[in-house]
Amino acid sequence: MAETFAVLGLFDHADALLAAIGKVKSQDLGGPARLEAYTPYPVHGLDRALGLRRSPLAGMVMVMGILGALFAMVMQYWMSAVDYPIVTGGKDPTSWQAFIPIMFELMVLFATFTAGLGMLLLLNRLPLFGHPVLGSRAIRSITRDRFALAVEAEGSGFDPRAAQAALEAAGAREIEWLPAPDTGPFLTAVTIQRSLAGIAAACVVAGVLTWGGVKLMPVLRPMVHMEDQPRLSAQQPSRFFPDGSGMRMPVPGTVARGYLPPPFKTPEQAAGLVNPLPRTREVLDRGRAEYQVRCAVCHGALGDGTPTLTAAYGAKPANLVAPNIRAYADGQIYGTIVLGKNAMPAYAADLPEDARWAVVHYVRALQRAQNAKDEDLP
């Protein structure tokens, strides 16, 4: 015969159960054993009669609630004031008053999950599907309307007959011996706790790695929504045209306005050309706009040839405000824009004629500004 886990006695009423606990306690239980009651609903006074201590849940919930609030405050402060300081509505990034609603919500969230899962998983060690009481005949009455008092063995040397006698003397209606389970339970609170802890740890690791990865490799693009557009970029193939190319040749024998082929082969040959544009505010504004789009990336916003790209790409763009370039004729600068020079590509395809001449005016303005003398001051 298998070892006995417990002897269970059923009672019809909560009063009978409470009275029986006192009686059974005073008797010999047949070896090391503890008393446990199984009831369909919480019966008041039962914990005192069984000598159960107060539930420690309230303290756990308070601690976790405070931790939740602190976590929320630290998280929001770090995210909005330290890692990526953000000014909203003219408020200082460190203004913490706006973090209070989320502090409250996370406090409640942490406290709730501590109360619920802490009660089930930690204190009650549920789920537990292999408990002997669940396999008893009595469980149908226990979860319905009757009350069970169990004398549960603790260690070896338990004598179920003595326990049965004690329960019978206390007025139990039905007695049942519960055999100890021969296999372990298959899904227990410990398994679930370990799984949850594993998932939580994996989340933390993934979060830290992602955050670190972003700091190291900012150019990775996981989402391309607005860049993914239904149009053809330069050099892309297209099945729409018979030759398979997305780019089109101009109609034979035509020239676009502002893009006449230059009548010179080198910039020096262009030196004789005269700037046809007047030196007005509008022309200089246009020249500046074109310069900042096309030229500033290499020659720098001031024209001194020290932009940010120089160091990264090892190029040595010309210093436009140096004496040798200042000595150029207007036409020579124009010719350089049209034909390119050394590493500089030709800009004839990007800038129409009047834009080129406007840039020439602006380069002259830069040269003047960077080589200003005291008497230039008004």
Q: State which residue, 6 or 333, has the beta carbon closest to another protein.
A: 6
Applying CB under 8 A, among 26, 74, 113, 341 the residue interacting with another protein is 113
Within 197-256, which residues bind another protein (CB under 8 A)?
207-208, 210-211, 213-215, 218, 220-223, 225
Q: State which residue, 14 or 298, has the beta carbon closest to another protein.
A: 14
Q: State which residue, 203 or 297, has the beta carbon closest to another protein.
A: 203
Instruction: Point out which span in 102-110, 288-296, 302-310, 351-359 binds another protein (CB under 8 A).
Output: 102-110
Q: State which residue, 220 or 249, has the beta carbon closest to another protein.
A: 220
DSSP-assigned letter for residue 237: B
Applying CB under 8 A, among 94, 143, 280, 371 the residue interacting with another protein is 143
Contact 11, 146 (CB under 8 A): yes
Give the separation between CA 204 and CA 200, rounded to whole angstroms: 6
Q: State which residue, 71 or 264, has the beta carbon closest to another protein.
A: 71
196 part of the interface to another protein, by CB under 8 A: no
116 part of the interface to another protein, by CB under 8 A: yes
Applying CB under 8 A, among 7, 133, 339, 351 the residue interacting with another protein is 133
Q: State which residue, 186 or 240, has the beta carbon closest to another protein.
A: 186
Applying CB under 8 A, among 112, 193, 269, 319 the residue interacting with another protein is 112
By rule CB under 8 A, what count of residues binds another protein? Answer: 82
Name residues whose C-beta falls within 8 Å of residue 79's C-beta, 6 or more positions apart in sequence. Answer: none
Instruction: Point out which span in 89-97, 164-172, 233-241, 289-297 binds another protein (CB under 8 A).
Output: 89-97
Contact 174, 9 (CB under 8 A): yes
22 part of the interface to another protein, by CB under 8 A: no
Give the separation between CA 343 and CA 361, rounded to whole angstroms: 23
191 part of the interface to another protein, by CB under 8 A: no
Give the separation between CA 201 and CA 205, rounded to whole angstroms: 6
Q: Which of 106, 78, 105, 81 lies closest to 95 in space, CA to CA?
A: 81
Within 41-70, which residues bind another protein (CB under 8 A)?
41-47, 50, 52, 54-55, 57-58, 61, 65
Q: State which residue, 223 or 372, has the beta carbon closest to another protein.
A: 223
176 part of the interface to another protein, by CB under 8 A: no
Applying CB under 8 A, among 14, 273, 295, 363 the residue interacting with another protein is 14
Q: How far is the CB of 225 from another protein (least distance, A)?
A: 8
Give the separation between CA 91 and CA 104, rounded to whole angstroms: 21
257 part of the interface to another protein, by CB under 8 A: no
Which amino acid is it at 276?
A: P
Q: State which residue, 136 or 332, has the beta carbon closest to another protein.
A: 136
Give the separation between CA 303 and CA 291, rounded to whole angstroms: 9
Applying CB under 8 A, among 23, 25, 40, 284 the residue interacting with another protein is 40
Within 144-163, which residues bind another protein (CB under 8 A)?
144-145
Alpha-carbon separation of residue 273 from 169, 217, 249, 255 (angstroms): 125, 49, 30, 21
